[in-house]
Amino acid sequence: MKTPIAVTIAGSDSGGGAGIQADLKTFSALGVYGASVITALTAQNTLGVSGIHDVPPDFVAAQIDAVFSDLDVDAVKIGMLSRPEVIETVALGLDRHRLTTVVLDPVMVAASGDRLLVPEAVESLRRLLLPRALLITPNLPEAAALLDAAPATSVTEARAQAERLLAYGPKAVLVKGGHGEGPESVDVLLDAEGFVELRAPRVATRNTHGTGCTLSSAIAAGLAKGLALRDAVEAAKQYLTRAIGRADDLSIGRGHGPVHHFHAIWD
């Protein structure tokens, strides 16, 4: 029986709560073999980001070719790509290896508020990667930044922004509502069949570092295991909700701690 394999193309979080580290933890927790292409190194902890070291584009390409020439990859998650030249390298790599099951999380700002993407890279994301994605997973501020608009303040506005983002070429859009208000976190999924709203109770915790990375990698894990897109999104939402709900079981750092990726295993 084939082992499901997912690859994360993203930045490293030295604190272990987000980025490559969160992606690989999520893959493992959900029964998927994880491999990685590191696009940037961050000096980071639960309090913030103190430095970013970009990986040269040619070495990003070398990692892509090494991984995809050997592993039979079922799904790809793309996270932090801080510069236009790295975005172009990744886009060319997707084409070179004919990768289409791609979940793109347009990471722009860390939970601490630190910017992870240079402003000139936003247009490269729109032009080169959105059309190559099966699904993009922006949160409310990221969706707004991609559209040069104000963040949505209602589900109706989030649906409208999802429609505008779909016009850039991805097959589906998931606008995440974690930054919204109210007792529920409402994510809006738009695909070829129309809209779906995914609701979950909002959890009162400050330990939400890596939520976006975790959700997108959980979706990629579901796709790698053969789930249909909507099923993969719904399963990932449930996994993340439980991981946030158990985040306070951990005592990690003095700032925004991580979600509990292994909540179902460490018991």
Q: Clarify whether 253 is annotated catalytic.
A: no
pLDDT in tens, 141-167: 999 989 999 999 999 999 999 999 999
DSSP for residue 153: -
**Rounded to whole angstroms, how far apart are CA atoms 165 and 236?**
21
**Rounded to whole angstroms, how far apart are CA atoms 75 and 101?**
5
Burial bucket for residue 256 (CB in 10 Å: 0-12, 13-18, 19+): buried
Contact 75, 225 (CB under 8 A): no
Instruction: State the CB neighbour count (10 A cutoff) for residue 66.
Output: 12
Contact 1, 37 (CB under 8 A): no
Catalytic hit among 210, 214, 222, 241: 210
Catalytic hit among 17, 212, 222, 257: 212
pLDDT at residue 183, as a whole number: 79
Q: Clarify whether 171 is annotated catalytic.
A: no
Catalytic hit among 8, 39, 208, 241: 208
For 173, the token pair is 């859009």
**Does the pLDDT of residue 93 top 80, yes or no?**
yes
pLDDT at residue 125, as a whole number: 93
Q: What angle do CA 255, 217, 206 make, to 5 degrees?
A: 20
Q: Clarify whether 25 is annotated catalytic.
A: no
pLDDT band at 190 (very low <50, low <70, confident <90, very high): very high
pTM: 0.95
pLDDT in tens, 210-267: 999 999 999 999 999 999 999 999 999 999 999 999 999 999 999 999 999 999 999 7
Mean pLDDT of 109-128: 76
pLDDT band at 112 (very low <50, low <70, confident <90, very high): low
Catalytic hit among 211, 214, 241, 257: 211
